[in-house]
Structure 1
Amino acid sequence: MFYSLRNRLIAIFVLLFVLAFCTMSILIFNQSRSIIRSYIESSALEKMDEYGSYISMVQTQVYDLASIVFNSDTAKNWDALISDPDAGSGEKNAAHYRMSQFLTQTTNSYTSVSSVTVYRREGMWVSSGNQVVFDQSLVDKPWYQDLIKRYEYWVPAQMDEAEMRNNNPHPVIGMLMPIGSFEPANARSIMKVNVTADYFLDPLERIHLGAGGSIYLLDQDGQPMLSQTEYNAHENMRETVDAVRAGSGKQGVVYVTSDQGDKEILVYKKLAKTNWMLVGFVSEKDLYAPLMKLRNTIFILATVLIVLSLLLATWLSHGITKPLSRLITAMRYVERGDFEIAESRIPAANFIRNEIDYASSTFRQMVVRLRRHIKDEFELKLLRQQAEYKTLLMQINPHFLFNTLELMSSLAMQKRTDDTVEVIESLGKMMRFSLRINEDLIRLDEELKYVRYYVSILHIRFGDKVNIDIDEEDVGQLVIIKFILQPLIENAVKYSFESGTEARVRIGVRRERGSVRLTVSDKGPGMPERLRRQLVEQSVRAELDYILNNNGGQVGLGNVLARCRLYYGSLFDVRIEAGEDGTGTTIELILPEQEEQRHV
């Protein structure tokens, strides 16, 4: 009983898959639970997003405060009075006091701002807390030179004299803004808004990358904004940081291999307003230590399973693998439509020994019958589709011919001999063209020539009441199915005259992204939305009986849509739109771009 195919397969699958996957599932579950819990809680990019929002909030407060000071009347009056050489010292001292009080009140409204100081180029500064200091060293300060020469508006963490005078001996980050002019070099006064560096540093230190990773806040030049001197220890990562800073990515993770072969992980996020960037460094060994252990365990287990699978596969090769491989190969050929090759891949069985032989023999018989059935069905469908297409094509000629013969009769009765001769010549050329019934495809320039013959007949029939404009691009060797423009033009002219005394029709021909777009637009009464949807739905279903038996006014349009759908299938599309004011109709046929001697 054990040697039957079913029992052997059951035993092998139980041994290989049930036991193996149960063991691996327990290991993966236990380890993944601790790994996912640990790294989801301290996900670097998520925390960087939160910290970036925090930075954005602080910067927004700084910019709001700076904008208030910049636009305030107090700052403008102070700047004007201090710049006035005729103002007395008493007036200036009073102005300094008012300015300091204003800065104190403004600073107290923003919790993140430590102080605001306004510096004068001639050597004095006013800060919150009634500080008015005369100091000629402003122009020598590095941050002032960076503002004037390099337009650097943010100052990295440093000690500030105004802060130290207010008993705040901690590094601050400053934002600079000129007052009275947007050009720093032309400004007489410079405003410096300070934020305590710890306000940025404390939240940053709560973001962890593994056990030994660190995150740094860098300015637009790639230098630390905060008092993080340990950033200099990552000299080997500077080139990678510069490349990331110059790239277009907003955030991401970069893996770098050091000269010693150790893999380092760089996590970064760019902050939008000031081109600052958060950068985190951590070694792959540190970050993925538990995962590496799990990977090694799975690798050892997988190696054992592979060896065992190879041994068992060798034992089963003659009984199952070989005939099953032939069966699968045959199925692939069936999927591609190569039924003859699929049939040859499965030899005819003289006798059936097991379930695989029975399945192979049954599949071979199915392939033989399916190949015959598809061949017969394809030939019948092809013949039926060709007959439907020819029937639709034959519907066009009588419809147009009767209208033209009526015109010739009217011209003859009016004794308009020259016009009659011209109509006969144009009609003869069109009939010679239309009698080429065995050709489904014609060159697009020939179709346009056919249209021009028809337009000449319309001009004789209606005179100046018809205005038909043909806008065409170079169509080269493009081919389309014939007789698709003339019925649309005929409909456009007909409905234009039903609502007015003249017909204005525009015909457009252009190529666009592998397709040919034929457009016929008129200024008629417009087509109702319900009728537009009905025509598009009929073109999708190619309802031949309805079109042939329809005695309404959409015979030409329905005929064209049905023939395009029968010939091009899903490669054809149509758009029927009304004008913005509800009048006029635009019909656009979208056909696949096809040249002579090449199938769609």
Structure 2
Amino acid sequence: MYKLIVTYILLTVLPMLLLVYISYTQYARSVEQQIGEYMPKFLYQANADIEKRIQELTTLPEILFNSENILGILRRTSYAKRSDLNKDQYTLNSYLARTYINGRNDDVLGVFVVSGNRVFYNSKAGFKESNWTKTIGSYATLDPQPSGKATILLPEEMSLHFESDIPYVFIQKPINDDDNRKNLGTMLIAVDLSFIDNIVRNFETNKRADLWVMNPSGKIIYHTNHELIGTVDEEKTRYPVLNGSFRTSVSGEEAKLVSVNQTSKLGWVLVHSIPLHDLTQRTDLIRNVTVFVFIAIVIAASMIAVLISYNMTRPLKKLSGLMKTVERGDLQVDLKVQSGDEVGTLARSFNSMIATIRELINKNYQIEIRQKEAELYALQSQINPHFMYNTLETIGMAVEEGETEQAVDMVTLLGRMLRFSVSNQSKSVTIAEEVQHVKDYLTIQKFRFEERVHFEIVQVIGDYDLHAFFTPKFILQPIVENAIKYGLESRKALEIHIAVSEEFGAKSGKRDIVIRIRDNGPGIPGDRLNDLEQSLKKISFEGRSSHFGLINVNARIVMMHGTDYGLQLHSIVGKGTEVIIRIPKIRGEEVSHADDKDADRG
């Protein structure tokens, strides 16, 4: 027993422990690699959103050109009275408040327009510096951008700071009067960068993760820790990439995974940093739980292995494996045991049982195949013979009455119908041939009943499809026979409409051929319609009935193509009946292949 336990530990426990360790290590590396691959993509999207918002804000100065009154104030260069200047300042300041501060631009902290020696403004907060108007006025007149492009300025560049601690930048853009080709001044928009919080919050919720935005020189414009805004990232110059991920390990600090992305227009760098330990925190919990469960399973399994080892033999293991193979459906197994003991007897009984099962399955399969072939043959061959007698009788009457031309036409149609019936030994014909056959049948009935029968055949699909796709033989005539039989009993004039189309099948999930046969006959009562629908669900042949034609056609279609296809009935008493035939789109080569398989089985 001691050797068994040692062997079990060496062969099972130790490899599984090694497997758990390797799996954990590989999984942790995989998590780090995946985060390293996907985080730059998230940063790229966040950077794109930030850049998009900044670009939207750079277009705000253009709104000034929507007001001729404001343009008039900006174009004015001198004042005769001080009151005129005050009036203009009041008007423009009010306009800035309505348009930029109190509007939908929540990210705008303040708007400042410098035109000549005038400073117009409106702001949500004041500056810490008392002479801020002079600073803005002097800075806005330096190095104007004649091209009209906007410039991003940090608060430190202008030595201006709002009284609140909200992170912000200035967007500076010249106001160019294109009509007069003249520069009217400069607009400065103080942008609240807190909107970045809403962007980055969508993909980072870890409180230990840091995320910041800095300009190309490393000056931090925004940081999740607002105390670091305005400082310089000294490590930026040592970043191996500006679009990607890398690991950092500073002495005395835990290793971190850093992901960066730089915008193409502004040049801002968005950086995400998270300790590696946080990436595998959940993995560590799973590892600990797995180790605990593994130890419990090993102890229990070791005790069970010791108990059952006394009664376990190799032949029984082999027999157990073969039985599992049989359970999966593979009956080609053979238990080779030559001993004459109880195990040998069990093996011989097992082999005998498997051989008997194989024989029974093969026998039942052959019986079912033969039975289906017999039923299909019977269904296809039982077509109403009374039509021949009635047609010949009508031809005879036409000859007696001297209607030679009509008699010739009817003989021609009847001959074509008979040739269609006996010349093609296949179970399938083209849709065009089947439609022509029922057209000949209806034409003969038209000759016989004259004005009492009217029919129309409409093809929604093209002639090529009619000749390219195949259908089971004799599926239209039995249904039309039923319509004429019951329709003429209650109607003076019977109308039959046949339409061939291509539709999507909800059951088959494919584009199917659908043939609709609609008449204005007496309809089918509800209880009889329910009985008929139940009969259609039975695929086997049950002999003739009052609606044998419908059952015949449905059974042949289902037996040839499966339960996704067949007949559907819609009927209203006193209004008429519609029979819908659904068959798959089958081409000639598929029909030939199916006929060859049937011939081989026969």
Q: TM-score of the superposition, structure 1-length normalised?
A: 0.59
Q: 2:93 aligns with which of 100, 105, 110?
A: 100
Seen in structure 2, the aligned counterparts of structure 1 residues 450 and 160 have a Cα distance that, compared at 3 Å, is same
Seen in structure 2, the aligned counterparts of structure 1 residues 63 and 328 have a Cα distance that, compared at 3 Å, is same
**For 1:164, what is the secondary structure of its paired residue?**
coil
The alignment status of 1:484 with 2:481, answered yes or no, reads no
**For 1:98, what is the secondary structure of its paired residue?**
helix
Q: Deviations over 1:331-367 (max 9, x none)?
A: 5367345x3x32xx2236653445xx67644543332
Instruction: State the alpha-carbon separation in 1 of the partners of residues 312 and 260 from structure 2.
Output: 57
Q: Given residue 583 of structure 2, which amino acid in structure 1 is its aligned partner?
A: I
Instruction: State the alpha-carbon separation in 1 of the partners of residues 235 and 271 from structure 2.
Output: 10
Question: Is the Cα–Cα contact under 8 Å of residues 216 and 278 in structure 1 kept in the other structure?
Answer: yes
Query: Which residue in the other structure is 1:455 paired with?
Result: 439
The alignment status of 1:280 with 2:277, answered yes or no, reads no
Question: Is the Cα–Cα contact under 8 Å of residues 519 and 586 in structure 1 kept in the other structure?
Answer: no
Instruction: State the alpha-carbon separation in 2 of the partners of residues 533 and 277 from structure 1.
Output: 73
Q: 1:196 aligns with which of 187, 192, 197?
A: 192
The alignment status of 1:346 with 2:335, answered yes or no, reads yes
Instruction: State the alpha-carbon separation in 2 of the partners of residues 528 and 230 from structure 1.
Output: 89
Deviation at 1:424, TM superposition (A): 2.4
Deviation at 1:520, TM superposition (A): 1.9
Query: Which residue in the other structure is 2:408 paired with?
Result: 421
- 1:25-424 correspondence to structure 2 within 5 Å: 76=67, 78-82=69-73, 94-104=87-97, 107=101, 113-117=108-112, 126-129=120-123, 135-137=140-142, 139-140=144-145, 145=149, 158-159=154-155, 164=160, 172-173=168-169, 194-197=190-193, 200=196, 214-216=210-212, 226=222, 229=233, 232=236, 235-240=239-244, 280-282=272-274, 287-288=279-280, 291=283, 320-321=313-314, 324-325=317-318, 327-329=320-322, 331-332=324-325, 335-336=328-329, 339=331, 341-342=332-333, 345-347=334-336, 351-354=340-343, 360-398=347-385, 401=388, 404-405=391-392, 408=395, 411-412=398-399, 415-424=402-411
Deviation at 1:483, TM superposition (A): 1.9
Instruction: State the alpha-carbon separation in 2 of the partners of residues 193 and 584 from structure 1.
Output: 76
**For 1:82, what is the secondary structure of its paired residue?**
helix
The alignment status of 1:551 with 2:550, answered yes or no, reads no
Instruction: State the alpha-carbon separation in 1 of the partners of residues 441 and 412 from structure 2.
Output: 10
Instruction: State the alpha-carbon separation in 2 of the partners of residues 322 and 533 from structure 1.
Output: 59
Question: Is the Cα–Cα contact under 8 Å of residues 62 and 113 in structure 1 kept in the other structure?
Answer: no
Query: Which residue in the other structure is 1:590 paired with?
Result: 583
Q: Deviations over 1:71-95 (max 9, x none)?
A: 89x9635435337779977767534
Question: Is the Cα–Cα contact under 8 Å of residues 117 and 128 in structure 1 kept in the other structure?
Answer: yes
Deviation at 1:524, TM superposition (A): 4.6
Q: Deviations over 1:88-136 (max 9, x none)?
A: 777675344233234346636776542245688x997743149795944
Query: Which residue in the other structure is 2:129 paired with?
Result: none
**For 2:584, what is the secondary structure of its paired residue?**
strand
The alignment status of 1:521 with 2:505, answered yes or no, reads no
Q: Give the superposed CA RMSD.
A: 6.8
**For 1:556, what is the secondary structure of its paired residue?**
helix
More helix per residue: 1
Q: Given residue 192 of structure 2, which amino acid in structure 1 is its aligned partner?
A: T
Q: Deviations over 1:310-340 (max 9, x none)?
A: xx99x98996456534653565367345x3x
Question: Is the Cα–Cα contact under 8 Å of residues 177 and 192 in structure 1 kept in the other structure?
Answer: yes
Instruction: State the alpha-carbon separation in 2 of the partners of residues 379 and 487 from structure 1.
Output: 31
Seen in structure 2, the aligned counterparts of structure 1 residues 256 and 166 have a Cα distance that, compared at 3 Å, is closer
Seen in structure 2, the aligned counterparts of structure 1 residues 61 and 507 have a Cα distance that, compared at 3 Å, is same
State percent identity of aligned pairs: 16
Count of residue pairs brought into register by the alignment: 513
Seen in structure 2, the aligned counterparts of structure 1 residues 488 and 192 have a Cα distance that, compared at 3 Å, is farther
Question: Is the Cα–Cα contact under 8 Å of residues 506 and 521 in structure 1 kept in the other structure?
Answer: yes
Question: Is the Cα–Cα contact under 8 Å of residues 113 and 195 in structure 1 kept in the other structure?
Answer: yes
Instruction: State the alpha-carbon separation in 2 of the partners of residues 496 and 119 from structure 1.
Output: 93
Question: Is the Cα–Cα contact under 8 Å of residues 521 and 587 in structure 1 kept in the other structure?
Answer: yes
Instruction: State the alpha-carbon separation in 2 of the partners of residues 360 and 119 from structure 1.
Output: 102
Instruction: State the alpha-carbon separation in 1 of the partners of residues 144 and 314 from structure 2.
Output: 86
**For 2:475, what is the secondary structure of its paired residue?**
coil
Deviation at 1:517, TM superposition (A): 2.6
Q: Given residue 324 of structure 1, which amino acid in structure 2 is its aligned partner?
A: K
The alignment status of 1:505 with 2:498, answered yes or no, reads yes
Instruction: State the alpha-carbon separation in 1 of the partners of residues 336 and 386 from structure 2.
Output: 59
Q: Given residue 347 of structure 1, which amino acid in structure 2 is its aligned partner?
A: K
Question: Is the Cα–Cα contact under 8 Å of residues 110 and 191 in structure 2 kept in the other structure?
Answer: yes
Instruction: State the alpha-carbon separation in 2 of the partners of residues 574 and 279 from structure 1.
Output: 66
**For 1:567, what is the secondary structure of its paired residue?**
helix
Instruction: State the alpha-carbon separation in 1 of the partners of residues 369 and 474 from structure 2.
Output: 22
**For 2:340, what is the secondary structure of its paired residue?**
coil
Seen in structure 2, the aligned counterparts of structure 1 residues 574 and 584 have a Cα distance that, compared at 3 Å, is closer
Seen in structure 2, the aligned counterparts of structure 1 residues 451 and 79 have a Cα distance that, compared at 3 Å, is same
Q: Given residue 140 of structure 1, which amino acid in structure 2 is its aligned partner?
A: Q
Q: Deviations over 1:402-449 (max 9, x none)?
A: 664565456456543233323323323322332369643x3x43x522
Deviation at 1:455, TM superposition (A): 1.2
Instruction: State the alpha-carbon separation in 2 of the partners of residues 487 and 455 from structure 1.
Output: 13
Deviation at 1:519, TM superposition (A): 2.2
Question: Is the Cα–Cα contact under 8 Å of residues 81 and 95 in structure 1 kept in the other structure?
Answer: no
Seen in structure 2, the aligned counterparts of structure 1 residues 400 and 325 have a Cα distance that, compared at 3 Å, is farther
Question: Is the Cα–Cα contact under 8 Å of residues 542 and 565 in structure 1 kept in the other structure?
Answer: yes
Seen in structure 2, the aligned counterparts of structure 1 residues 236 and 597 have a Cα distance that, compared at 3 Å, is farther
Q: Given residue 94 of structure 1, which amino acid in structure 2 is its aligned partner?
A: K
Q: Given residue 520 of structure 1, which amino acid in structure 2 is its aligned partner?
A: I
Seen in structure 2, the aligned counterparts of structure 1 residues 509 and 198 have a Cα distance that, compared at 3 Å, is closer
Greater Cα radius of gyration, structure 1 or 2: 2
Instruction: State the alpha-carbon separation in 1 of the partners of residues 482 and 557 from structure 2.
Output: 17
Question: Is the Cα–Cα contact under 8 Å of residues 571 and 592 in structure 1 kept in the other structure?
Answer: no
Instruction: State the alpha-carbon separation in 2 of the partners of residues 583 and 63 from structure 1.
Output: 66
